[in-house]
Amino acid sequence: MRPYDIASFASDSLQSSRARTLLMMLAMSIGVGAVVVLTALGEGARLYVVNQFSSLGSNLVLVFPGRTETAGISPGMLLGQIPRELTMEDAKALLKSRAVSRIAPMTIGSSEISYGPLNREVVVLGSTSDLLEVRHMELALGRFLPSTHEGEPVCVLGAKIRHELFGNASAIGKWVRLGDRRFRVIGVMGSQGESMGFNTDELVIVPVSAAHMLFNNSGLLRILVEAKSRDAIPRAKQDAESILLARHGERDVTVITQDAVLATFDRILRALTLAVGGIAAISLSVAGVLIMNVMLIAVSQRVREIGLLKALGAPASGIRTLFFTEAALLSFAGSMAGLIFGELGVFAIAKAYPSLPVTAPWWAVLAAVGTALATGILFSVWPARRAALLDPVAALSGK
Amino acid sequence: MISLEHVSRSFAIGDQQVYALRDINLEIAAGDYLSVMGPSGSGKSTLLNLIGLLDRPSSGTYRLDGRDVTALNDEEQAGVRSGKIGFVFQSFNLVPRLTAAKNIELPLMLAGISADLRKARVEVLLKDYGLLDRADHRPDQLSGGQRQRVAIARATSMHPAILLADEPTGNLDQSTGREVIDLLEKLTEQHVALVLVTHDPAIGGRARRQLHMLDGRITD
């Protein structure tokens, strides 16, 4: 038989039992559609996190006090010592590295802010002028922390804090009280929502030294180090480690690159996408079983036709090919319908949640269609074999 | 053309061997017109299926054009069926979803003949069997006589050397049955060997050679 004739004979026979064909296509398309939609969601979540990270700033290296051991315990823990603090001097020393372009120290505490009769609890972040650039933050009004006169009692308010304390009135130049000290408002942050645990909308940023006085401490929570370029990140990390080793006399800080954190999230979310896609793929194998069942019924319903085809000169292999082709056409049509369903679903989700970058990854689409075709054909092996091995004499008499 | 030597066909039913055919010796030449008569269960259809390569003998040899065809594998036997043998059945066995023309075309399609050639041959057959105006009708839109004419056209589409007809008039009224027999007899004039299984003596009596079967044996 010629390939075109095989295809048209198979599609004729599919069309002659329309309800059965449509139901099988539906089962197949639900499976494919589920894979497409779920992997699109997983991939969307991954991209969302990746984007969030890069909005934090690029080429970042993070320095934390204390050393995280992967195994065993540090001597300091045995002696009941707390790790040595990171200081402003440590932070400034990091600038000696030629791979580092900027640094931004961070210290954090919580305090009460009040303006006139209004007051609330806020998170106070102590930092320097470079924080704005390093963290890619946006200023809505006024200016950010000054690069000189670090002891000046000035503060920059988060968008929400400003709104709660000042309403529609101007905040710039006003004096607010933080704990037992007074600060002059010099700027207001743009509204950027939550990013990696910090909601800048509900933050008050003050110079490091002011924060130290406010909270009566001297350490830094962490130092953000911006490398000069992407290629300079490993150098910056190495330099940070060696500079602090030289200053502290021991390795008592943890230096990680943003890429490492990002890569971890990336791995976790990719695994999640795969898992979700895999679960959806199970529904494809269920559709495969359905195809097998229906093909078996089709074989027993068409026993006479099979007998006739044999009498008219079709070899067993020809009969097998015909049934295979039917299953393949069915799976193909089903998976195409599933792709359309899936893409419509993805489109609807993208409309409903514009901030989530949902798109089905190409490998998932390929895998879904591939699995659909493979299960369809695989599960028709048995029915097709059964058809091919029918005894023509018995088949012709309809037994 | 066809020679059966000591051919037997037995089936195992439980632990008993049941013989459908016993020691059949038969020669059929090109253009022979042979009727096979006998009561049901006498082995007529089994003989026909054996000649048509739908069944294999338990013992004995079957030569077709001098070649031992029982030793052929499935693929080769299908090839022989396709090129040399035509079947006409009592219940027509048309594919219900295909039109008359498509049904006639089926053996040509299975043989892998090109679409142009198929179309031309089907056209001739439709004309020969008076089915031109029925070409696009499906079997359920055709009368019994028309259905059997489609089946005969289909059986002859590959120009077979031998035509096997199993009770071709069994589902037809008498006058339509006679027309069908006329059509089949006309084919024997074109050197097609015709083997006609029937239990109607009026039809079987018209054949040039008549075989009577009983209990799997040819009685005369």
Residue at which a domain ends, from A223, A251, A279 = A251
Domain annotation covers residue A76? no
Kindly state whether residues A296 and A383 are assigned to the same domain: yes
Residue type, B148: Q
Phi/psi zone of residue B3: left (φ > 0), alpha (ψ -120 to 50 degrees), beta? beta
Cα–Cα distance for residue pair A335/A284, rounded to 1 Å? 10
Q: Do residues A213 and A116 both lie within one domain? A: yes
In sequence order, the 6+-apart residues with CB closer than 8 A to the CB of A24 are: A287, A290, A291, A294, A330, A334
**What end-to-end distance do the CA atoms of chain B give, in Å?**
21
Indicate the pLDDT class of residue B117, thresholds 50, 70 and 90. very high
pLDDT band at A197 (very low <50, low <70, confident <90, very high): low
Q: What is the mean pLDDT of residues A264-288?
A: 85
Nearest to B93 among A12, A316, A396 (CB): A396
B78 and A12 within 8 Å at the Cβ level: the answer is no
Same-domain status, A166 and A307: no
How high is the mean pLDDT of chain A? 86
The per-residue pLDDT for A75 is 54
Residue A222 placed within a domain: yes
With 60 as the cut, is the pLDDT of residue A81 above it?
no
Give the model confidence (pLDDT) of B63-84 as tens digits. Answer: 999 899 988 999 999 999 999 9
Residue of A nearest to B47 (CA): A393
Q: Flag whether A206 is in a domain.
A: yes
CB-based contact, B75 to chain A, within 8 Å: yes
pLDDT digits (tens, 9 = 90+) for A98-132: 999 999 999 999 999 999 898 899 999 999 998 88
* Final residue belonging to a domain, choices A251, A273, A294: A251
Same structural domain, A19 and A95: no
Residue B156 in this model has a pLDDT that exceeds 90:
yes
Q: How do the domains of chain B map onto residue ranges? A: 2-218
Tokens 């074999």 label which residue?
Answer: A385
Please check whether residue A163 lies inside any domain of the structure: yes
State the nearest Cα–Cα gap between A315 and chain B, in angstroms.
5
User: What's the pLDDT score for residue A318?
Assistant: 92
| A379 and A325 within one domain | yes
Q: Which residues of A touch B79 (CB under 8 A)?
A: 313, 315
Tell me which CATH code domain B2-218 carries.
Answer: 3.40.50.300
Residue A61, domain member (yes or no): no
Across chain B, what does the average pLDDT equal? 92
User: Across the interface, do A313 and B89 touch by the CB < 8 Å criterion?
Assistant: no
- Residue at A59 is within a domain: no
pLDDT-based confidence at residue A74 (cuts at 50, 70, 90): low
Which pLDDT score, from 0 to 100, does residue B89 have? 92
Q: What is the dihedral of CA A215, A221, A222, A224, to 10 degrees?
A: -40
Question: Is A185 in the same domain as A238?
Answer: yes
Q: pLDDT above 70 covers what percent of chain A?
A: 93
Average pLDDT over residues B116-125: 95
**A299, A222: one domain:** no
B58 touches chain A (CB under 8 A): no
Q: What is the pLDDT of residue A198?
A: 65
Q: Following DSSP, what letter does each residue of B48-116 receive, concatenated? A: HHHHTTSS--SEEEEEETTEEGGGS-HHHHHHHHHHHEEEE-TT----TTS-HHHHHHHHHHHTT--HH
Q: Same domain, yes or no, for A281 and A221?
A: no
Domain that holds residue A274: 3-53+263-396
Domain boundary among A251, A284, A304: A251
The CB-based long-range contact list for B208-211 (8 Å cut-off, 24+ gap) reads B208/B32, B208/B33, B208/B34, B209/B32, B209/B33, B209/B34, B209/B35, B210/B34, B210/B35, B210/B37, B211/B26, B211/B34, B211/B35, B211/B36, B211/B37
Question: What ipTM goes with this model?
Answer: 0.93
- Which pLDDT tens digit goes with each residue over A339-395? 999 999 999 998 998 888 888 888 888 888 888 888 888 888 899 999 999 999 888
Residues A277 and A389 in one domain: yes
Quick one: pLDDT band at residue A79, thresholds 50, 70, 90? low
Residues 174-213 of B with CB under 8 A from A: none
Q: What is the mean pLDDT of residues A298-323?
A: 91
Asked if B81's CB is within 8 angstroms of A313's CB, the reply is yes
On whether residue A72 sits in a domain, the answer given is no
Res B13: pLDDT: 87
Asked if A348 reaches chain B (Cβ–Cβ under 8 Å), the answer is no
Instruction: Report yes or no on A65 lying in a domain.
Output: no
Work out the angle between the directed axes of helices A316-352 and A381-388 (0-180°, nearest 10).
Answer: 160
pLDDT tens figures, A317-349: 999 999 999 888 988 999 999 999 999 999 999
pLDDT of residue A337: 93
